[in-house]
């Protein structure tokens, strides 16, 4: 009889989702892998017969999400670890973005994760246990020019997930907000939508390109051991930064924010609230 915990992973065919899928299977677990394009998962399915179920899913379709989560729970009789990993990138200045682009960004990064969580919680609550990993980004602490809508959608998910963690804790469900840095995925290529650039921002774009450089970041599979260790923790953290360089950068961002608050403390304290 096949044993091992059951994972449900969105965006499982590429990038971090693929890395998490491979790591779970390598640890002897069972995985329901959901993605828009299942073709890249064919090799994994052949290599792990009976332990990988593939589901075509567009997370922006709430009805389809509910159906997929129910199918995932039925596939192996339970759900143990739900990984909200599916995501997309809108790259462009705030002024440049169109309404359709902005809404599409939130549909995938925020609402898609909400639909999955809403569908999964009843299954986990009935079991009295389960983990939900909400993949956001190390940038939820602040926006960066040209990636503001991506950061905003992930920041919204971060805040909502903190509320979710409080709500489901009495049912034995643990939520962790996973905040990875920049890994060498296709998020910045096939996963990216760009705005029509305005010439007024040409100088800023040049500065950003120089700041970011050409380094695509480490391979996604280097992040997987962190996740496999995380899900084994009996008392996991609410938030976890994934990546040494990202941890240092977040620390710097936090210190800068704290310094700014303190610099203007005298003005803040003029109000009684």
Catalytic residue numbers, as ranges: 150
Helix, strand, coil share (%) of the chain residues, nearest 5: 50, 15, 30
Q: Say which DSSP state 119 is in.
A: H
Distance from CA of residue 131 to its chain's centroid? 14
Encoded tokens for 227: 């996740």
User: Rounded to the nearest 5°, which phi and psi values hold at 75?
Assistant: -60, -45
CA pair distance 196, 198, nearest whole angstrom = 7
Task: Scan for tokens 């496999």, then name that residue.
Answer: 228
d(CA 146, CA 151): 10
CB 90 within 8 A of CB 69: no
Q: Residue 133 in contact with residue 82, Cβ under 8 Å?
A: yes
Rounded CA gap, 65 and 91, in Å?
Answer: 26
CB distance 123 to 69 below 8 Å: yes
- The three-state secondary structure class of 114 is helix
Question: Of 247, 189, 245, 222, which Cα lies nearest the Cα of 18?
Answer: 222
* Contact assessment for residue 179 and residue 162, using Cβ atoms and an 8 Å cutoff: no
């Amino acid at each position: 009889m096949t044993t091992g915990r059951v994972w449900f992973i969105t965006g499982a065919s590429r990038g971090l989702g693929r890395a998490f899928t491979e790591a779970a299977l390598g640890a002897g677990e069972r995985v329901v892998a959901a993605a828009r394009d299942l073709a890249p998962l064919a090799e994994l399915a052949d290599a792990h017969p009976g332990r990988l179920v593939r589901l075509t899913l567009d997370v922006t379709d709430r009805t389809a999400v509910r159906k997929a989560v129910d199918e995932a729970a039925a596939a192996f009789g339970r759900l143990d670890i739900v990984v909200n990993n599916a995501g997309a990138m809108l790259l462009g200045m705030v002024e440049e973005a169109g309404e359709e682009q902005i809404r599409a960004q939130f549909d995938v990064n925020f609402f898609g994760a909400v639909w999955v969580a809403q569908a999964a919680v009843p299954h986990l609550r009935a079991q009295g246990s389960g983990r939900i990993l909400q993949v956001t980004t190390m940038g939820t602490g602040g926006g960066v020019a040209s990636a503001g809508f991506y950061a905003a959608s992930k920041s919204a998910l971060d805040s909502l997930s903190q509320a979710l963690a409080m709500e489901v804790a009495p049912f034995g469900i643990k939520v962790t907000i996973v905040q990875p840095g920049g890994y060498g995925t296709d998020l910045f290529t096939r996963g990216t939508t760009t705005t029509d650039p305005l010439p007024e921002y040409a100088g800023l774009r040049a500065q950003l390109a120089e700041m970011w450089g050409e380094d695509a970041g480490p391979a996604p599979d280097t992040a997987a051991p962190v996740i496999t260790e995380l899900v084994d923790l009996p008392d996991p953290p609410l938030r976890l930064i994934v990546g040494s360089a990202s941890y240092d950068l977040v620390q710097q961002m936090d210190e800068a924010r704290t310094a700014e608050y303190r610099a203007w403390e005298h003005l803040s304290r003029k109000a009684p609230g």
